[in-house]
Amino acid sequence: MRALAIALLGCALLAGSARSAACSPLDCSTSQFAFAHGSLLGVRGNAHMPLRVIDLRTGETRWRLPPGVVAGHVLVHQDGRLVTWFDAATGARLADAVVQAHGTFVLTGASQDGRQAVLARTQQRSTTFAIVSPDGERVVRLGGNHWSFDALDGDNLFLVRMLSAGYQIRLLRLASDILERRPLKDPHEAATLTGVPWSRTSSADGRYLYTLYVDPNGKAMVHVLDTQAATAHCVDLPGSGDFNAASTYALVVDPDGRHLWAVSAGYGRVVHIDVLRHRVVDDYRFDASAAWNTNFGVAALAPDGERLAVTDGYHLWVVELAQRKVVARPSHVALALAYSPDLKRLWVVGERSRVTALPAL
């Protein structure tokens, strides 16, 4: 079993290393999602694979949905010029739309509420975005082929502009069709971002978008984008000197929208971030030095908010948040994690997609 886990982790590392400099919602989105107030778990290997939705009360698969972008409880799928919206919490097909813009467009993201799909067409001298909903379509065309989609919230369209030395986040106001001249940045940081965007997740209401960046020197940072206020802040995470260790950071969002947890098996750190204050308010260590694998970290918060489980794909730990205590659990191949609504079980999706129930405590 351990050999299988290491093979899976190696594939994940190669996939992450091959990413482009920008962090598209498809490349960096999480592989597990909570639906129906935490009673359902959506799982997939990557954004180009079907989504399997599991009932966390029984561990049984409820339905499967096609590949696509997940935003809130909505999955957006593209099939040629046809765009389809699904309710991941019920499995129902919600709506369809046909892309009207001329040319070949590829689904690249969705609005934070999932109501609009964003498709892109990149040519030698221009980049065109089609913002599609069941009620209509909006086309945005920019000069140059160095643009990619980042996020959409109301009239705020966030784009990534590629540069030779990195990339910048730019804001285009759809209401006025004006691209802001200055990049969107942390007031205390440079406008150009560097490093590898490793993973991203959103707050439950979609307002905040969290992206984990890892530098070659092993430094990690969380980029917090407020998609409603159109502001950005950078929060540095502890640890340096080891890229593989930094890449194990897993981000967990508290449902209250105020708190974000970052846990790294490689650095053996639990970090508590106050989202509204844009800073680390607590940080403590745990001993994982003898047992961690290079992999994307995966973590899940218990429904009562008192503890979270985290894995590197093989080793498993439980963090008791109020006690600032980390307990090692028996090893288990784990590609996804979630607690049952009654807090009695910790569900683990392991080898061959088998769902296993472990005692929660």
| Cα–Cα distances in angstroms (integers) from residue 38 to residues 120, 175, 229, 239, 322, in the given order | 32, 35, 27, 32, 21
Two tokens at 183? 């990049």
Contact 283, 272 (CB under 8 A): yes
- 140 CB contacts (<8 Å, ≥6 apart)? 128, 129, 131, 157, 172, 174, 177
- Cβ atoms within 10 Å of 151's Cβ, excluding its own: 25
pLDDT beyond 90 at 143: yes
Instruction: Judge whether residue 121 has pLDDT over 60.
Output: yes
Q: Report whether 69 contacts 89 (CB < 8 A).
A: no
Highest mean pLDDT among 178-192, 226-240, 280-294: 226-240
Are 214 and 243 in contact, with CB atoms under 8 Å apart?
A: yes
- The per-residue pLDDT for 207 is 94
- Residue 296 CA to residue 311 CA, distance in Å, equals 9
Give the mean model confidence (pLDDT) for residues 47-70.
Answer: 95
Cα-based distances in Å from 295 to 16, 173, 264, 289: 9, 37, 10, 15
CATH number of 1-21+241-361: 2.130.10.10
Distance between alpha carbon 167 and the CA centroid of its chain, in Å?
19
Q: Tell me which H or E stretch contains 355.
A: strand 355-359
Distances (CA, A) of 55 to 205, 256, 350, 360: 22, 23, 16, 16
The tokens for 267 are 């650095």
Question: Is it the case that residue 136 has pLDDT exceeding 70?
Answer: yes
Mean pLDDT of 168-185: 94
**Structure tokens, 338:** 């979630």
In this prediction, residues 254-275 reach a mean pLDDT of 93
